[in-house]
Structure 1
Amino acid sequence: MDVIFLNGGSSSGKSTIARAVQALLPEPWLAFGVDTFVAALPETGGGIEFGPDGEIVVGPEFRRLEEFWMAGLAAMAAAGAHLIVDEVLLSGGAGQDRWRSALAGLDVLWVGVRCDPVVAAAREAARGDRIGGMAADQARRVHAGMAYDLVVDTTATDPDACARHVVAALKSAS
């Protein structure tokens, strides 16, 4: 397997699961999150807008830059790096299709990271570094039209247990 792809809404636990998966695997896996990509965008002209209610709107410039991001990660995986991608596919299945194209020829384990919207919203509020409303808005939307190899639910399952499920699925797929 070349890539573990974690898709879930904000505050669903993807980054924590990614770190736990890294700790469980004997060889190094690099984790890259969509937050890293968004932080790399210029403050203006990056094609992304955050509404006061947590809504995220992306435009053509964002999509163009996102293509570069995806191609870069795919090139790393094609060169032999094992990757964990931590993503929030706002467009659900359409986003998965873009990633499938970018990752063509690579073995990918597609993992849905679900969390009850109320629980995700409470985590979001506790973090204090997110726009309120983002987690609840994304909790279900990011999974629309998606096809997964594995789904974990962090509502009542801790990240370490979810990571163990991911590693077990990875081993059975290899």
Structure 2
Amino acid sequence: MPEQAEFGTGSATPQRGRIIFLNGTSSSGKSSIAKELLQVLDEPYFHMPVDTFHGMRSRREVTPDELRLVLRRTWMGFHRAVAGMAAAGNNVVVDHVLSEQWRLLDCLGLFAARDVVLVGVHCSLLELERRERERGDRPTGLAARQLAQVHAHGLYDIECDTTTASAVDCAQHIRDFLPQRPTPTAFEQLRAKLRPDLTTAG
């Protein structure tokens, strides 16, 4: 088969892909920025939104305790899918909500830290509440409940504020930052601080 001939066991290990990791509350504009990034970035990128993974689940009714377990497993599977895409050499744009600390800790253990561009997506509470009302597909007050924890780790490679900046402006800002991003990356620093059990740098 042609595919086996090109990517068979004798082929070289692909270079790891970059992960542009957009973190912010619900309705902060992450998905809009991700879509614009796919238009302005020079290399091919895949947008992997966590909402797509949640949407794959069957609609069978489950108890609240079961739902918590299902949601946790969904997030864990999402993280591993992103890690697998990047490990195969694909560039990925991820939109994420780090509203529980274990999610960040899990990602720190899975992703090659030097290949992650951690982007803080901020938005004022008033604007978040306005967007929630306008969308009508999110629980009232969801973004407000997430706000304190989402940015609690306090460290980013680059940040943007969608209260006033458009998704296009944010995407261009991120694109222009990529060639000059400093090291150690935010993920490398967070990994050293929060995951000392990981002795080898990734």
For the criterion TM > 0.5, the same-fold answer is yes
Q: Which residue of 2 aligns with 1:136?
A: 144
Residue of 40, 48, 55 corresponding to 1:32: 48
Q: Which residue of 2 aligns with 1:79?
A: 88
The Cα of 1:165 is off from its aligned counterpart by 1.3
Gapped regions of structure 1 (runs ≥ 5): 50-57
The Cα of 1:27 is off from its aligned counterpart by 1.9
Decide whether the 8 Å contact of 1:45 with 1:61 is kept in 2. Answer: no
Does the alignment pair 1:168 with 2:184? no
Give the match's secondary structure for 2:47.
Answer: strand
Q: Which residue of 1 aligns with 2:162?
A: 154
Number of residue-to-residue matches in the alignment: 166
TM (norm. structure 1) is 0.84
Q: Which residue of 2 aligns with 1:42?
A: 58
Q: Which residue of 2 aligns with 1:55?
A: none
Residue of 63, 68, 80 corresponding to 2:72: 63
Partner Cα separation in structure 2 for residue 130 and residue 21 of structure 1: 24
Write the deviation string for residues 6-58 of structure 1: whole angstroms up to 9, x where unpaired.
Answer: 00001100011111111111222111112112212333578878xxxxxxxx7
Letter in 1 for 2:89: G
Identity of aligned residues (%): 37
Partner Cα separation in structure 2 for residue 46 and residue 170 of structure 1: 43
The structure whose residues are more often strand, as a share, is 1
Q: 1:46 to 1:166 in 2, by over 3 A?
A: farther
Q: 1:156 to 1:105 in 2, by over 3 A?
A: closer
Q: 1:104 to 1:48 in 2, by over 3 A?
A: farther
Q: Which residue of 2 aligns with 1:3?
A: 19
Residue of 123, 136, 139 corresponding to 2:131: 123
The structure whose residues are more often helix, as a share, is 2
Give the match's secondary structure for 2:22.
Answer: strand
Letter in 2 for 1:34: V
Give the match's secondary structure for 1:97.
Answer: helix
RMSD value, Cα: 2.5
Gapped regions of structure 2 (runs ≥ 5): 1-16, 183-202
Decide whether the 8 Å contact of 2:19 with 2:93 is kept in 1. Answer: yes
Write the deviation string for residues 75-97 of structure 1: whole angstroms up to 9, x where unpaired.
Answer: 111111110000111115x4222
TM (norm. structure 2) is 0.73
